[in-house]
A and B are shown apart, each in its own frame.
Chain A
Amino acid sequence: MQTRSKLKKNIRDRAVLFVTLLLFWIMLNGTLAIDSLIVGIFVSLSITLLFCSGLSFFTEFRATPKAFAAGLFYYAYFFKELVKSNFKLAAIILSPSLPIKPGIVKVRTRLKSKMGRLMLANSITLTPGTLTVELDGEWLYVHCVTVDSTDIEEVTTQIVAGFESYLEVMYG
């Protein structure tokens, strides 16, 4: 029974990877012409079959409308956060006294799926001012340019909670 569900999950993962690769192929070519589509199906199929442990953006994605909405909100929140923290860091770099207070703090994450954790770590790294140094079990070690407090719970709500609430709906 268990092997069957595992097999089912495996086949589903492969199918998702195949569809994602085909999407990328269409975007690369920029056309929907029938010849490039045939070649694209062949190439994506062979990559999917040859490289067994591949993941894609949607591997553990929950295919519910709620998850898609959360995805949209996630990207909106992410870009807002990106621009905001860029301006914050720009102010720090441009001020002559360089008012930084760096340190490495520890935060907790609730995410279990691989892709969700990767997306979380990447989002934290991409927003300037925070940089993921190590991911160990449920603990994330984050380097901050300005450390406000060293209390784990407080820093967690400050850095992680915003991204996590969306990613949890998307990937679980």
Chain B
Amino acid sequence: MIKRVIVLLFLLGLGLLFIAFMQGYTPDSELNLTGRYYAEHTAQDIGATNIVTAIIVTYRGLDTIGEVTVLFLTAAIVGMLLSRGNRKGKSLQRELPQSGELLTTGSYLLVPLILLLGAYVFINGHLTPGGGFQGGAIVASAILLMLLTDPLRHFSHQLIAIVESISGLLFVIIGVLGLFYAGGFLDNRILPTGELGSLFSAGAIPVIYSLIGLKVGAEFSSMLVNLSETEDS
């Protein structure tokens, strides 16, 4: 009981702080300096129409490398934690109810479409909303649909690992190429900037974002597959 009172008091204090913050807050009517710089220079310098993509891939490209690394570490830790259940031939002996014919057929119909949508999202990252992270999550959703249809389905861990590491390696190599042939690490102007608004524009951004998409999709997929292959306790 005393604990609950302490929690409530703490939350009350936090709420008062929030209210004070909200009363003092006035929305900006103009872009601040950073935002104005990005808005005015992205189209000429980078050639991408989606400014958020330009920020994530080029202006703040190092942060993205860090983020992808954090995701990779997470996937690796999940795999390590649950690796006990991966002994071959022994996993999942219990009987599962059949998944109906309709769901099986429907998933065979929908999985290619979901993969196609994922590819569309990460290839068009510089023109439309979306990009590597979204596309990777959509690709992983396709894997999830397969898992939901047939939990005993075997996924090749090797294929996932190969896709993951090759795309990560290419990502870093492209970054280093930017160091030699353009302004700096992860500069996108190693390829021509192209015409604003067409698919082959914005230099290396579509390539880099596709690689990020493949990498993120492989990481999420490996998390899902590792989780679903654990033994029933």
Contact = CB atoms under 8 A, between A and B. Distances in A.
Interface of A: 17, 21, 24-25, 28-29, 33, 35-36, 39, 43-44, 47-48, 51, 53-57, 114-115, 117-118, 121, 132, 134-135
Contacts of B57: none
A135 B105 CA distance: 12
Interface in B104-133: 105-106, 108-109, 111-113, 115-117, 119-120, 123-124
Given A25-B120, A35-B199, A43-B123, A118 B112 contact: no
8 contacts: A29-B124, A35-B198, A35-B200, A47-B115, A114-B105, A117-B105, A118-B102, A135-B101
A55 B109 contact: yes
Contact of A135 (B100, B115, B120): B100
Contact of B116 (A21, A57, A115, A132): A21
B109 A56 contact: yes
Interface of B: 100-102, 105-106, 108-109, 111-113, 115-117, 119-120, 123-124, 198-200
* Cβ-closest 5 pairs across A and B: A54-B112, A55-B108, A118-B105, A43-B119, A35-B199
Nearest to A125: B102
A28 B123 CA distance: 12
Report whether over half of chain B's contact residues are helix, strand or loop; otherwise say mixed: helix
A47 B116 contact: yes
Given A54-B112, A55-B109, A118-B109, A33 B102 contact: no
B123 A55 contact: no
Contact of A51 (B106, B115, B120, B123): B115
A171 to B, nearest CB: 12
A132 to B, nearest CB: 7
Given A54-B108, A54-B111, A118-B109, A29 B120 contact: yes
Contacts of B113: 21, 24
A134 B113 CA distance: 25
A17 to B, nearest CB: 6
Contacts of B124: 29
Contacts of A47: 112, 115-116, 119
Q: Give the residue among B102, B111, B117 with the most A Cβ atoms within 10 A.
A: B102
A117 B101 contact: yes
A12 B109 CA distance: 16
Nearest to A18: B112
Contacts of A33: 198-199
A121 B102 contact: yes
A114 B105 CA distance: 7
B199 A51 contact: no
A53 B115 CA distance: 14
A104 to B, nearest CB: 15
B108 A53 contact: yes
A115 B105 contact: yes
A21 B120 contact: no
Contacts of A56: 109, 112
Contact of B199 (A39, A44, A115, A118): A39
A124 B119 CA distance: 32
Contacts of A21: 112-113, 116
B126 to A, nearest CB: 13
